[in-house]
Amino acid sequence: MLSKENIALYAFEKFGDTALQAAFCCIGNRADAEDVAQEVFFALHREPRDFNDDEHLKAWLLRCVINRCKNLHKSIWRRMRVNMEDVPTAELTVNDSSEKEVLNLITSLPKPYAEVVYLHDYEGYAIREIAEMLERSENTVSSQLRRGHLKLRMELSEEG
């Protein structure tokens, strides 16, 4: 059982970047992603809870981040998104222009695809695990993953 005195701080140290990356991939811009990620850690700070282990904690954080991103997608704030070009490069710590290009493509992915592609390609979750996490059928997840990949490939080839 993972029971820390300050579980939120522990979670931030351990998975702070993970939460931010997940939020970024799902929401599509850095500023909103930071808001979403920080809200999740504050929520855990307000309502601490025990976790079985680090994996359990990580899965909980990712789920919370994705849920919050969904809420944000429904809201007016999506129209106030900050374009990648507007964010200082230093903050993005992107080293080359092709990576920035890739990031631009990632952020342009439709939301359901973006969530699935992130969880599968970056976090390494299996389709079955993603289906459980997002409460979708495996068929849906497989289909969204395939289409997300297709879209990424298509966009890149157009630009490349």
Partner 1 sequence: MRMDKERYRRAVSGIRWTEKQRAAMRKKLKEPAKKAADDFFDDFDEKPLTKEEQRRMEEEMAKQEKRIRRLSKSGRAVAAALLILVGGGVTAGIIHAKKLKKQEANAAMGVFGLHLTDQKDSPSRLSFSQSEQGYYIGYNNYEYSMSDFSVQTDMGEEIQFEALCQNQQRALPTFYDPETGESAVLCARPNCTHDGSTYCTATTRVYGAAAGGDIYFTYADGYLYRVTGKHNLKTMDDGSVTYDDTETHAVLLRYEPDGSGITELYDFGTGGGGSMPVVHRGYLWFSVQLKTYGDIIKNKITGSESRFCTGGYEIWGYELKTGKLTKVYTAMEAPTANLVATAPEYLNGIGDYLYFDTADGDMITPTGTNRINLLTGELSKAPDISLEYGFNEHYGLHYNRVLQGGDNVGCWQLVNLDTGETKDIPNSELSTGYIGTPFLSGDYIYWFQHGENSEDNIIRMYDLNLNKLLGVNVSESGLPTIRLKDAKIIPDIGICKVQDGKLFVSYDLTATKPEYGMWWTVENSVYSCNVSDLLDGKLEWTKVFESMDSGEAQKQFEKAYEIAEKALKDKR
Q: Give the footprint of partner 1 on residues 58-97 (CB under 8 A).
A: 59, 63-64, 67-68, 71-72, 74-77, 80, 82, 90-95
Q: Which of residues 105-124 bind partner 1 (CB under 8 A)?
A: 105-106, 117-118, 121-122
Can you give the C-alpha Rg of the chain in angstroms? 16
46 binds partner 1 (CB under 8 A): yes
Angle at 66 between CA 26 and CA 48, to 5 degrees: 140
Contact 18, 61 (CB under 8 A): yes
* Alpha carbons 114 and 35: distance in angstroms, whole number: 18
CB atoms within 10 A of CB 136: 18
Min separation Cβ 119 and partner 1, Å: 11
Min separation Cβ 145 and partner 1, Å: 10
> Which lies closer to partner 1 via its Cβ, residue 2 or residue 9?
9
Structure tokens at 42: 């504050």
Min separation Cβ 54 and partner 1, Å: 15
Q: Which of residues 120-159 bind partner 1 (CB under 8 A)?
A: 121-122, 128, 131-133, 135, 137-139, 142-143, 146-147, 149-150, 152-154, 156-157, 159
Contact 25, 54 (CB under 8 A): no
CB atoms within 10 A of CB 16: 15
Residues in the interface with partner 1 (CB under 8 A) total 78
